[in-house]
Amino acid sequence: MTTESLAPDAVKARQRAGWSSQAREFYARRALIERQWGVLSEGLLELARITTGDRVLDLACGVGDPALAAADRVGPTGSVIATDLSPDMLAFAAQRAAAGCLGNVEVHEMDAEAIDLPDASVDAVLCRLGLMFLPELDAALGGVHRVLVPGGRFAAAIPWRPEGQAMPRLIGATLDALGLAPMPPPAPGRPGIFSLADASFVCAALERAGLVDVRVQPYTLAHDYRSPDEWLDFLMALNVPLRERLAAASGERVREFRTAAVAATAPWVREDGHIRFAGHGYYAAAARPVR
């Protein structure tokens, strides 16, 4: 069954279950994930002009990013509310906050489309690689507008242009080699990594929510994996639909998948055995009007 045919509540139940089932793997690979995505946290903090004493809301924080980077930036006079739909992801975020002695982080299970905070209660809202999993973006952005103080800032990081990205080409080549159907094409409202690849759709939604100073800024990530297997581990930890598809496959079929995936990486393998390719996306930033 694809998410295409599901109502928003069913999409979210499925998102919660999918991400919860792989929270442990996500957490276990956090160093690898931060090697690829850490730069996005810095970008979001800069764009949202996070500074000492700010109150920050992080939507869809997973195991704690960029919430923990924000907590470090705002210091003990500020605060961060780290939120996610998946309690399992959040448990790891809480664990990391405690391990880092970040007493200014609160963790709340929360649907980004139903932000459960008072009006005008935060200075900034951040979302790293989460908006594209929401079935009703307008509901989320309406909530962002409501909870921001006048002049408060919003910044999100979102993948774009699937046709130019190495990752979907790798996955496509692998599925093709096994005679499996390609992943469904991305579209707004049908949650998936590239569902918001059209930045103009997000800009229009930000404006509909009443936010101003809407800006889009492209980013390029340097994906670097020590080996094809390390890339595959990253992929399997993050790609819920792919995992779901392989869950029903026999052990033999999964081994075939791994072999085909490693073969598909050949064009990107460097002399040192690393796989390197670029990942592309954009930051979308906006603000609540001052009055």
Ligand X SMILES: C[S@@+](CC[C@H](N)C(=O)[O-])C[C@H]1O[C@@H](n2cnc3c(N)ncnc32)[C@H](O)[C@@H]1O
Site residues, ligand X (CB under 6 A) = 12, 15, 19, 37, 60-62, 65, 84-86, 89, 111-113, 128-130, 133-134
Contacts of 262 (CB under 8 A, 6+ apart): 228, 229, 232
Residue 19 or residue 277: which is nearer to ligand X going by CB?
19
Residue 152 or residue 192: which is nearer to ligand X going by CB?
192
Residue 37 or residue 234: which is nearer to ligand X going by CB?
37
Residue 37 or residue 194: which is nearer to ligand X going by CB?
37
Give least dist CB 145 to ligand X, A: 17
Give least dist CB 158 to ligand X, A: 11
Give least dist CB 150 to ligand X, A: 25
Give least dist CB 275 to ligand X, A: 20
| Encoded amino acid at 59, one letter | L
Residue 8 or residue 289: which is nearer to ligand X going by CB?
8
Give least dist CB 27 to ligand X, A: 10
Cis peptide before 162 (omega within 30 of 0): no
CB-nearest residue to ligand X: 62
Residue 13 or residue 263: which is nearer to ligand X going by CB?
13
Taken in order 169, 172, 176, 177, the sign of the CA dihedral is positive
Give least dist CB 151 to ligand X, A: 25
HEC sequence for 153-181: EEEEEEECCHHHCHHHHHHHHHHHHCCCC
Residue 175 or residue 193: which is nearer to ligand X going by CB?
193
Residue 17 or residue 214: which is nearer to ligand X going by CB?
17
Give least dist CB 111 to ligand X, A: 5
Give least dist CB 59 to ligand X, A: 6
